[in-house]
C-alpha cells in the first residue's frame, strides 16, 4: 500500500479529516469482543521502518509531535456518536501495527497481549503519522474480526472477511452519523502540528 501517496492525494483534494475504519484482531478477548468498536488513542509501531512514514525525506528535518497519534477531537466525536446509535465501543485503547501480510505467531501475540495492548492491525501506521504531517485529523475505528491467536481456532483471511462483512452496515452508519457531528472548525492541534517542527 502506498500510504504516502494516499495521504498526499487527500491533502491535495483539501481533506481536513479522515475517519479510518479498519479490521483488527482483539488482543484482550476478555475485554474487547468481536463486533465492538475500539477508538484507539495510542499506537505502537513495530513495522521496523520498512514503510515510508514521512513526507520530509530530503534536506528538511521534521520532528513530528506524535504523543497523541490519533485526533482527540475526532475520537470524542466517535464516542459521542456511538452512544447516540447505541453501539458497544471502547473509548480508548492501544493499537499495535505489524507489517503483515502474515498473521502473528502465538509467541508474538502473547507478547502483545502481555503488554496490555488492545488491538492489532496492519494499516494504522504510517497512516496516522502521515496524516499528522499533512495537517489532517485522523481517527482510527478498529473493528475486531478475530481474537488473534488467543483462541483454539487459527486466524484465517476467510474468518476476518466474514466478521468484517457483518460489521459493514454498522460502521457505515457510525461514519455517516459522525460526519454530521464533526464541528466545522477544529479545536485540536492536528492541523497545525508541523508549524514549529521543521528545521
**160 in a structural domain:** yes
Domain containing 15 equals 3-182
Active-site residue, selected from the candidate residues 41, 52, 146, 185: 146
CATH number, residue 128: 3.40.50.1580
Domain count, the chain: 1
**96 in a structural domain:** yes
| Residue-level pLDDT at 11 | 97
For 111-121, write each residue's pLDDT tens digit.
999 999 999 99
Active-site residue, selected from the candidate residues 41, 53, 118, 148: 148
**152 in a structural domain:** yes
For residues 135-156, give the mean pLDDT. 86
For 83-136, write each residue's pLDDT tens digit.
999 999 999 999 999 999 999 999 999 999 999 999 999 999 999 999 999 999
Q: What is the pTM of this model?
A: 0.92
Q: b vs e for 98-114, b when ≥16 Cβ sit within 10 Å of the residue's Cβ? A: beeeebbeeebbeebbe
Confidence band of 59 (pLDDT split at 50, 70, 90): confident
Tell me, yes or no, if 169 is annotated catalytic. no
**188 in a structural domain:** no
**62 in a structural domain:** yes
Distance between CA atoms of 14 and 11, rounded to whole angstroms? 5
**73 in a structural domain:** yes
Tell me, yes or no, if 91 is annotated catalytic. no
Amino acid at each position: 500500500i502506498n500510504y504516502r501517496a494516499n495521504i498526499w492525494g487527500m491533502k491535495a483534494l483539501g481533506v481536513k479529516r479522515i475517519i479510518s475504519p479498519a479490521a483488527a484482531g482483539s488482543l484482550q478477548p476478555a475485554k474487547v469482543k468481536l463486533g465492538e468498536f475500539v477508538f484507539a488513542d495510542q499506537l505502537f509501531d513495530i513495522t521496523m521502518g520498512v514503510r515510508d512514514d514521512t513526507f520530509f525525506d530530503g534536506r528538511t528535518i521534521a520532528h513530528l509531535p506524535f504523543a497523541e497519534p490519533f485526533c482527540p477531537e475526532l475520537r470524542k466525536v466517535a464516542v459521542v456518536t456511538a452512544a447516540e446509535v447505541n453501539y458497544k465501543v471502547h473509548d480508548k485503547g492501544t493499537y499495535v501495527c505489524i507489517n503483515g501480510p502474515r498473521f502473528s505467531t502465538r509467541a508474538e501475540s502473547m507478547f502483545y497481549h502481555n503488554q496490555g495492548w488492545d488491538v492489532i492491525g496492519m494499516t494504522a501506521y504510517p497512516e496516522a503519522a502521515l496524516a499528522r504531517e499533512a495537517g489532517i485529523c485522523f481517527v482510527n475505528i478498529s473493528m475486531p474480526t478475530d481474537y488473534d491467536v488467543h483462541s483454539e481456532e487459527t486466524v484465517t483471511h476467510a474468518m476476518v472477511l466474514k466478521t468484517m462483512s457483518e460489521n459493514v452496515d454498522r460502521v457505515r452508519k457510525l461514519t455517516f452519523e459522525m460526519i454530521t457531528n464533526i464541528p466545522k472548525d477544529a479545536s485540536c492541534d492536528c492541523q497545525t502540528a508541523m508549524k514549529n517542527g521543521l528545521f
